[in-house]
């Protein structure tokens, strides 16, 4: 299933809120539409957010040409797109890359600037697909035959340019004949696991079982989990990792039961400017995402709601970080700095 495409000066994205029971597309004709697509989680997943934001810059410059605005308006557009979600560092990485290119070519003809910005966004998209494949190949070396793998949220093709990070490793293990089985956390409150990950795995014929988030510890106790693989939205220099809320709990459970806990993410997810997870901003989302389920209120009006979208898993709970440049083992800071040099 094609989950996004840029054609005829429009970005068409699959509305992931409707999956797996409906296939609807959201058309981004302007950079404001791209902001909505990211902010309202029409699309999600750190690498995909970065790709879509890059195309948002392209649409922003198209508007600059059409309305004959100053080219420097692009800085305002980039800052606006950067405000859509605070945690996923790929968003800022992609926007910085587009900004750097613009600064090199800003004196060119505007049509040429548009073409080069579009080419750069396409490069970011294609690079991500290749990166995911490499992550899958490196990560597959860590997976044993007949493994039962637990994953959380969705770090598959739908969260990236294609193939996936955590699911990229799982796909690689499956297609190499390792006979893996995947336990899929439902991932409240948006149910990205139940709706998206289970959908992707089923489409590829990978055996999977969906569980409620609070069942993972019991499965580990029963000896039914051999490893945990998750994606990441931001990784600090010391290896602390922000990912979908609930990831930290899984890491604690895995550590208690002696189960390997792997992070799968591109190097662009590493924030080399922060030393630890305490510096990672954690997005808090609307109370209604928890107050309502399937359009029906399930929480009393008198009750308060706390809805952080992410949590931070400390480096000491992580067995390894799998990137397109190789696998990093503790102590992470030394290995992470080497990735920057490669």
Domain boundary among 116, 132, 148: 132
Q: Are residues 118 and 202 in the same domain?
A: no
Q: How far is CA 249 from CA 170, 182, 205, 224, 243, in A?
A: 21, 18, 29, 17, 11
Tokens at residue 107, please?
Answer: 């004196």
CATH classification of the domain holding 44: 1.20.120.420
Written as one string, the DSSP assignment of 198-222 is HHHHHHTT--EEEE-GGGHHHHHHT
pLDDT average, residue stretch 154-180: 97
Please state the pTM of the whole predicted model: 0.93
333 in Cβ contact with 238 (< 8 Å): yes
Long-range contacts of residues 252-259, Cβ cutoff 8 Å, at least 24 apart? 252/317, 253/216, 253/217, 253/220, 254/220, 254/225, 254/228, 254/317, 255/316, 255/317, 256/220, 257/220, 257/221, 257/225, 259/220, 259/225, 259/226, 259/227, 259/228
Strands 320-323, 261-264: parallel, antiparallel or unpaired by DSSP?
parallel
Q: Are residues 201 and 328 in the same domain?
A: yes
Q: Are residues 296 and 317 in the same domain?
A: yes
Q: Are residues 281 and 298 in the same domain?
A: yes
With tokens 């997870």, the residue in question is: 277
The percentage of residues in the chain with a pLDDT greater than 90, rounded to a whole number, is: 98
Query: What is the per-residue pLDDT for 158?
Result: 96
pLDDT average, residue stretch 193-206: 97
* Share in percent of the chain as helix, strand, coil (round to 5): 45, 20, 35
- Where b means 16+ CB within 10 Å and e means fewer, 100-117 reads ebbeeeeeeeeeebbebb
Q: Are residues 121 and 139 in the same domain?
A: no
- Total domains in the fold of the chain: 2
- Where b means 16+ CB within 10 Å and e means fewer, 135-153 reads bbebbbebbeeebbbbbbb
| H or E element at residue 248 | helix 247-257
* Residues contacting residue 66 through CB under 8 Å, at least 6 positions apart: none
Lowest mean pLDDT of 1-5, 70-74, 163-167, 250-254, name the range: 1-5
Domain boundary among 78, 111, 132: 132
Q: List, for residues 36-90, the tens digit of each pLDDT value.
A: 999 999 999 999 999 999 999 999 999 999 999 999 999 999 999 999 999 989 9
Q: Are residues 26 and 148 in the same domain?
A: no
pLDDT average, residue stretch 169-192: 97
Q: Are residues 101 and 155 in the same domain?
A: no
Chain mean pLDDT for the chain: 96
Q: Are residues 335 and 196 in the same domain?
A: yes
Question: Which residues face 322 on adjacent strands?
Answer: 264, 327
Q: Are residues 230 and 333 in the same domain?
A: yes
Q: List, for residues 82-113, the tens digit of each pLDDT value.
A: 999 999 899 999 999 999 999 999 999 999 99
Q: Are residues 211 and 306 in the same domain?
A: yes
User: Residue 188 — very low, low, confident or very high, per pLDDT cuts 50/70/90?
Assistant: very high
Q: Are residues 12 and 101 in the same domain?
A: yes
Query: What is the per-residue pLDDT for 2?
Result: 84
182 in Cβ contact with 206 (< 8 Å): yes
Task: Please give the positions annotated as active site.
Answer: 233
Domain boundary among 110, 132, 154: 132
CATH classification of the domain holding 295: 3.40.50.10470
Query: What is the per-residue pLDDT for 341?
Result: 83
Residue 198 pLDDT greater than 90, yes or no: yes
Q: Are residues 56 and 195 in the same domain?
A: no
Q: List, for residues 303-320, the tens digit of each pLDDT value.
A: 999 999 999 999 999 999
| H or E element at residue 151 | strand 148-151
**Domain that residue 312 falls in:** 135-341
Residue 1 pLDDT greater than 70, yes or no: no
């Amino acid at each position: 299933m094609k989950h996004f495409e840029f054609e005829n000066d429009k970005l068409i994205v699959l509305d992931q809120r409707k999956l797996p029971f409906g296939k609807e597309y959201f058309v981004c004709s302007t950079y404001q539409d791209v902001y909505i697509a990211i902010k309202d989680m029409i699309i999600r997943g750190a690498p995909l957010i970065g790709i879509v934001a890059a195309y948002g810059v392209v649409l922003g410059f198209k508007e600059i040409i059409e309305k004959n605005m100053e080219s420097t308006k692009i800085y305002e557009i980039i800052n606006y797109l950067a405000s859509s979600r605070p945690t996923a560092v790929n968003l800022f990485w992609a926007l910085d890359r587009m900004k750097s290119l613009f600064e090199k070519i800003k004196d060119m003809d505007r049509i040429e600037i548009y073409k080069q910005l579009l080419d750069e966004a396409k490069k970011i998209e294609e690079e991500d697909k290749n990166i995911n494949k490499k992550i899958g190949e490196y990560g597959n070396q860590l997976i044993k035959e007949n493994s039962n793998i637990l994953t959380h949220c969705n770090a598959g093709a739908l969260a990236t340019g294609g193939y996936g990070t955590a699911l990229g490793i799982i796909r690689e293990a499956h297609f190499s004949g390792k006979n893996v089985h995947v336990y899929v956390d439902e991932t409240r409150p948006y149910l990205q696991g139940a709706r998206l990950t289970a959908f992707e795995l089923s489409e590829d014929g990978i055996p999977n079982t969906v569980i409620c988030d609070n069942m993972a510890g019991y499965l580990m106790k029963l000896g039914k989990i051999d490893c945990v693989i998750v994606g990441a939205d931001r990784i600090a220099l010391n290896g602390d990792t922000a990912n979908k809320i609930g990831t930290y709990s899984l890491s604690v459970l895995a550590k208690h039961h002696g189960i390997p806990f792997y992070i799968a993410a591109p190097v662009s997810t590493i924030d080399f400017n922060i030393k630890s997870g305490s510096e990672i901003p954690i997005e808090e989302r609307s109370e209604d995402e928890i107050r309502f389920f399937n359009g029906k209120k399930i929480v009393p009006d008198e009750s308060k709601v706390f809805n952080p979208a992410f949590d931070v898993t400390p480096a000491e709970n992580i067995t390894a970080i799998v990137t397109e440049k190789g696998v990093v083992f503790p102590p992470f800071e030394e290995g992470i700095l080497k990735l920057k040099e490669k």
